């Protein structure tokens, strides 16, 4: 196995004689409980190698394909085999250019994006027209909002990795990842005029003395924005999958479509969970399910962040939070907001208390801080620029 060290580090595996285990898998004699422990251990890995993936496939996990009996990709209550599998379209005349296939040349990648354009614009339009305000107990229609309504982004000449086309997620090594920012990429339809104002920084003036409710309201705006972006990406990839999965002729490329679908489904589930918990918390004026971690830092004007953050491992024990290539485990995300005030830079994280791994992340981080004074500014910048999502 390639990642011998990772596996040896794992307590569960130390109890198992690995050589014996593998020969038993081959003989099909391994007890179910041993298999279960081994699967659990694989799920704790940051990076799965081919042996891990093959083991999961053998154990009945559809790593590269959707199984008949698993929850459907349309997020309904039904099983894939009964619901969306029969809807997959086959067109013998079309050989669909999948994302992975298109990556070999700039021209092909443009074709890939162009093919998706009609679906994407349909999804966006559907999302804009007649969208309801997502504030608790509000029945008004949403108006056009902007995540950074309090800042003149165009005037300030910020750079961003965010792209206008949210499906365009190709970042080529050696190229500049950052583009001059045009503020309308942060437009969304999620709040009515009244609640656009209620959740805005102009109204809330978030800083170190803000109450938890004020911070919750401000986070709701960021969460609604991210939820809409992730959902638009998901609906677009879902349509692509239904229309073209069977028209991709090479099995390997089909497998990558499945992988991508699994990843985006995980993101949708996580952001919806964060949203519904925050929604309920505000509605009931009870923030017991939510945690905030705040820092008031030295004033700087270099960056503005209102985003989700996918921590990878905890800083001390290196416990995996989100695996880089295992779409079979749930994602855990936090929300990060960095706000510039007159005197300081306020950094506020928000996460759900039930997200055990993120809780552990911040516990370990504060332990490290107590042991030796850390320079927080680079930490916040690095985390945000490298790890934040660019939906
Ligand atoms: Zn379905
Ligand atoms: Zn409203």
356-374 pLDDT, tens digit per residue, is 999 999 999 888 877 766 6
Which of 262, 283, 304 terminates a domain? The answer is: 283
Q: Who surrounds ion ligand 2 at CB < 5 A?
A: 133, 135, 138, 140, 192, 195
Assess whether 17 and 150 both reside in one domain: no
| Mean per-residue pLDDT, 35-50 | 80
Check residues 104 and 261 and name the one with the higher pLDDT. Answer: 261
What span, in angstroms and rounded, lies between the C-alpha atoms of 93 and 200? 51
Q: What pLDDT is attached to residue 226?
A: 95
- Regarding whether 143 and 53 lie in a shared domain, the answer is no
In a domain, residue 385? The reply is no
Please indicate, yes or no, whether residues 153 and 45 belong to a single structural domain of this protein: no
121 lies in the same domain as 47: no
Q: Rounded to 5 degrees, what angle do the CA atoms 263, 307, 112 make?
A: 45
Report yes or no on 186 lying in a domain: yes
State the distance from the centre of ligand 1 to the C-alpha of 183, rounded, in angstroms: 36
Tell me whether residue 185 is in a domain.
yes
Q: What's the rounded Cα separation, in Å, for the pair 341 and 200?
A: 14
Same domain, residue pair 48 and 141: no
Q: Considering the domain boundaries, does residue 35 fall inside one?
A: yes
Neighbours of ion ligand 1 (CB under 5 A): 72, 74, 76, 83-84
Q: Which of 201-205, 307-311, 320-324 has the highest mean pLDDT?
A: 201-205
pLDDT class for 323, splitting at 50, 70, 90? confident
Q: Are residues 150 and 28 in the same domain?
A: no
Percent of the chain scoring above 90 in pLDDT: 47
The pLDDT of residue 288: 97
pLDDT for 363 equals 93
What does pTM read for this prediction? Answer: 0.84
Residue 28 lies in domain = 4-58
**Dist. CA 197 → ligand 2 center (Å):** 10
Residue 324 included in any domain: no
Question: For residue 75, which ligand has an atom nearest its CA?
Answer: 1
**191 and 107 in a common domain:** yes
Last residue of a domain, one of 265, 283, 301: 283
Of how many residues is the chain composed?
391
Cα of 122 from ligand 2 centre, angstroms:
24
**155 vs 192, higher pLDDT:** 192
Report the SS3 class of residue 307. strand
Whether the Cβ atoms of residue 313 and residue 319 lie closer than 8 Å to each other:
yes
DSSP secondary structure letter of residue 31 = -
**Residues 116, 222 share a domain:** yes
> Does a structural domain hold residue 373?
no
**366 within domain boundaries:** no
Least confident of 106-115, 153-162, 308-317: 153-162
Are 117 and 241 contained in the same domain? yes
* Same domain assignment for residues 103 and 190: yes
Could you give the number of structural domains in the chain?
Answer: 2
Taking residues 328-351, report their average pLDDT: 90
Q: Where is the domain boundary, 255, 283, 311?
A: 283
* Residue 81, domain member (yes or no): no
Least distant ligand from the CA of 72 = 1
pLDDT at 11: 44
pLDDT(85) > 60: yes
Q: What is the mean pLDDT of residues 291-307?
A: 85
| Ligand nearest to the backbone CA of 80 | 1
CA nearest to 34, candidates 44, 47, 25, 43: 25
């Amino acid at each position: 196995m390639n990642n011998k060290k990772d596996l040896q580090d794992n307590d569960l595996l130390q109890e198992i004689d690995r050589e014996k285990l593998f020969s038993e898998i081959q003989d099909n004699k391994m007890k179910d409980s041993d298999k279960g422990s081994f699967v659990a251990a694989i799920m704790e890995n940051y990076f799965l190698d081919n042996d891990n993936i093959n083991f999961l496939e053998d154990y009945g996990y559809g790593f590269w394909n959707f199984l008949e009996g698993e929850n459907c990709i349309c997020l309904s209550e039904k099983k894939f085999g009964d619901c969306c599998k029969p809807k997959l379209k086959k067109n013998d005349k079309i050989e669909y250019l999948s994302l992975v296939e298109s990556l070999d040349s700039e021209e092909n990648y443009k074709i890939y994006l162009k093919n998706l354009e009609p679906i994407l614009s349909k999804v966006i339009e559907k999302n804009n027209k007649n969208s309801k305000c997502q504030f608790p107990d509000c029945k008004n229609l949403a108006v056009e909002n902007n995540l950074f309504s309090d800042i003149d982004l165009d005037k300030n000449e910020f750079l961003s990795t965010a792209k206008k086309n949210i499906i365009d997620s190709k970042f080529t090594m050696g190229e500049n990842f950052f583009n001059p920012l045009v503020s309308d990429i942060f437009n969304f339809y999620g709040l009515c005029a009244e609640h656009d104002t209620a959740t805005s920084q102009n109204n809330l003036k978030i800083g170190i003395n803000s109450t938890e409710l004020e911070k919750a309201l401000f986070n709701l705006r960021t969460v609604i924005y991210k939820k809409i972006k992730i959902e638009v990406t998901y609906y677009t990839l879902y349509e692509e999958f239904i229309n073209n999965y069977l028209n991709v002729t090479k099995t390997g490329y089909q497998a990558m479509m499945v992988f991508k679908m699994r990843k985006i489904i995980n993101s949708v589930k996580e952001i919806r969970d964060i949203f519904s918990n925050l929604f309920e918390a505000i509605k009931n004026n009870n923030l017991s399910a939510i945690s905030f971690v705040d820092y008031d830092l030295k004033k700087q004007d270099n960056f503005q962040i209102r985003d989700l953050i996918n921590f990878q491992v905890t800083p001390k024990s290196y416990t995996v939070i989100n695996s880089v290539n295992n779409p079979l485990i749930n994602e855990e995300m936090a929300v990060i907001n960095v706000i510039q005030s007159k005197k300081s830079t306020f950094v506020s994280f928000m996460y759900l208390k039930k997200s055990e791994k993120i809780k552990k992340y911040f516990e370990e981080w504060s332990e490290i801080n107590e042991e030796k004074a850390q320079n927080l500014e680079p930490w916040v910048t690095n985390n945000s620029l490298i790890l934040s999502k660019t939906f």
